[in-house]
Amino acid sequence: MTNGKASRFLGEAKAYATKAREAEEQDKDFKRARDLYLRAAEAFLEASKASTDPQEKKLREDLAETFLAKSQSMGPQKGGSSGGSSGGSSGGSGGGGDEGKEIIPIERPTTNFSDVGGLDDVKEEIRKAIVYPFQHPELYEMYGKKAGEGILLYGPPGCGKTFIVRAAAGEIGIAFLTMKVSDIMSKWLGESEQNIKAAFNAAGKNAPAILFFDEVDAVGGRRDEDQQSAGKRIVNEMLVEMDGVEGPRDKVLIMAGTNAPWDVDPALRRPGRFSKLILVPPPDQESRKQIFKIQCKKKPIDQAVDFEDLAKRSDGYSSADISQICQEAADIPLAEAISGKPPRKIMQQDFYEVLKHRTSSITPWFRLAKNEIEKSGEKDLFADLFTYIEKYA
């Protein structure tokens, strides 16, 4: 629990951080912003020293490091005058700032969890974290619980991480914003950080909303001595925004997806950030059956096709694999018809022919996951994954 001294330093740190952002974004006074970020770092460090709770102590240390990096990144290239005329806010990005990323796609998904085949455990975890708090706000307020928490979905590629997050937004009836690596990364100094900031601002303006970062390991990778300074600044910006130092973000639910959770900076996985890690596994047999049916819905399928049998034969295949199998099965009678034979429906044998030559695309991922997790020393953190690694690796 935070004591009085720690609370005082924490209040000062947040005040300095808020003033620094105002100086940087509104006044374009980068010299003042740099000094205020440094003061915020010093105050967070003092708050860490005064904290008695180990988690709070570490959180304040992370923030001190974050704001120190922000201060150091605002060197001479930012200019020193309050007019901000000698380099803009992104040092040559062509007039970037938040305005450069003002238009971020806002969706109002119509899909919901009923459209997601299987994954019942995953759906229930998401319900507990972000759906129930919106459906029963009075109960969560009574027990002192905030709406939502950062969720990191991880697992093999092609298993529906983005789809289930979009369905979660539809389940609650709120806005959905998704940011891909290509939306964030920029060759211009400071613009990647501005893009992250713009995403959080857009989510705040459209709250309640889910802000989803796809392939978050590419923008939130581990900070270490070998990482380039640009990469460190991006992670630091993510930390600043997720901690909401300028005010609570209770109505902005932050989610992310990754195929490489071991590469996500541990600071992003601390309580209060992506504090819940949820595995999105390969589809189970019933889910595979439903996926086959959905993918074949608009195709001429022979009535004798046994989807249950196909589901059994495709154990360990991803949703994307099954979609491709259905496409290739359709290619066989299509090629025959193009060559002059009478058009026919897609038969069970067509699927068998494809399955003979197409192996699961995610088996190599499980082997990689096993090696990377053992190397990271975080086997306990990914215990749920090892059940599947033992089966498929």
Judge if 158 and 19 occupy the same domain.
Answer: no
Judge if 41 and 138 occupy the same domain.
Answer: no
Please indicate, yes or no, if residue 195 is contained in any of the structural domains.
yes
- Position 223 scores a pLDDT of 58
Question: Model confidence at 238, in pLDDT bands (50, 70, 90)?
Answer: confident
Q: What value does the mean pLDDT take over residues 215-230?
A: 64
Which region among 12-21, 56-65, 260-269, 274-283 has the lowest average model confidence (pLDDT)?
Answer: 56-65
- Residue 107 vs residue 235, higher pLDDT: 107
pLDDT at 297 over 80: yes
Using DSSP, state whether 359 is helix, strand or coil: coil
36: domain CATH number? 1.20.58
pLDDT at 393 over 50: yes
Tally of domains within the chain: 4
Judge if 187 and 53 occupy the same domain.
Answer: no
pLDDT, tens digit (0-9, with 9 covering 90-100), for 123-165: 998 888 888 888 888 888 888 777 656 899 999 999 989 999 9
Which region among 62-76, 278-292, 367-381 has the lowest average model confidence (pLDDT)?
Answer: 62-76
User: Distances from the Cα of 250 to the Cαs of 143, 153, 176, 177, 261, in angstroms?
Assistant: 15, 20, 15, 16, 25
Please indicate, yes or no, if residue 89 is contained in any of the structural domains.
no
Judge if 199 and 217 occupy the same domain.
Answer: yes
108: domain CATH number? 3.40.50.300
Judge if 262 and 116 occupy the same domain.
Answer: yes
Judge if 126 and 181 occupy the same domain.
Answer: yes
Q: Strands, DSSP E only, in the chain?
A: 151-154, 175-179, 209-213, 252-258, 276-279
Please indicate, yes or no, if residue 92 is contained in any of the structural domains.
no
Chain centroid to CA 221 = 12
311: domain CATH number? 1.10.8.60
pLDDT, tens digit (0-9, with 9 covering 90-100), for 118-131: 788 889 988 888 88
- Position 364 scores a pLDDT of 94
pLDDT, tens digit (0-9, with 9 covering 90-100), for 339-372: 999 999 999 999 999 999 999 999 999 999 999 9
Q: What value does the mean pLDDT take over residues 283-293?
A: 92
**The three-state (H, E, C) secondary structure of 259-303, written as one string:** CCHHHECHHHHCCCCCCEEEECCCCCHHHHHHHHHHHCCCCCECC
Please indicate, yes or no, if residue 198 is contained in any of the structural domains.
yes
Judge if 109 and 243 occupy the same domain.
Answer: yes
Q: What does the alpha-carbon distance between residue 246 and residue 352 come to, in Å, rounded to a whole number? A: 58
Question: Model confidence at 2, in pLDDT bands (50, 70, 90)?
Answer: low
- Position 229 scores a pLDDT of 58
Please indicate, yes or no, if residue 208 is contained in any of the structural domains.
yes
Torsion of CA 230, 232, 234, 235, to 10 degrees: 170
Judge if 240 and 116 occupy the same domain.
Answer: yes
Region of 255 (left: φ > 0; alpha: ψ -120 to 50; beta: rest) is: beta
- Position 369 scores a pLDDT of 93
Judge if 127 and 175 occupy the same domain.
Answer: yes
- Position 91 scores a pLDDT of 36
- Position 353 scores a pLDDT of 97
- Position 279 scores a pLDDT of 94
Q: What value does the mean pLDDT take over residues 249-262?
A: 85
Domain-terminating residue out of 226, 250, 279: 279
Judge if 150 and 213 occupy the same domain.
Answer: yes
Containing domain of residue 373, as a range?
363-392
- Residue 169 vs residue 216, higher pLDDT: 169
- Position 98 scores a pLDDT of 43
Q: What does the alpha-carbon distance between residue 244 and residue 241 come to, in Å, rounded to a whole number? A: 5
Domain-terminating residue out of 279, 301, 336: 279
Q: What does the alpha-carbon distance between residue 146 and residue 79 come to, in Å, rounded to a whole number? A: 41
pLDDT at 381 over 50: yes
- Position 231 scores a pLDDT of 67
Which region among 263-267, 309-313, 334-338 has the lowest average model confidence (pLDDT)?
Answer: 263-267
Judge if 128 and 207 occupy the same domain.
Answer: yes
Judge if 224 and 322 occupy the same domain.
Answer: no
pLDDT at 89 over 80: no
Please indicate, yes or no, if residue 83 is contained in any of the structural domains.
no
- Residue 231 vs residue 26, higher pLDDT: 26
Please indicate, yes or no, if residue 96 is contained in any of the structural domains.
no
- Position 87 scores a pLDDT of 37
Q: What percent of the chain has pLDDT over 70?
A: 85
pLDDT at 15 over 80: yes
- Residue 356 vs residue 251, higher pLDDT: 356
Q: How many CB atoms lie within 10 A of CB 230?
A: 15
Domain-terminating residue out of 246, 279, 312: 279
CB 2 within 8 A of CB 53: yes
- Position 276 scores a pLDDT of 86
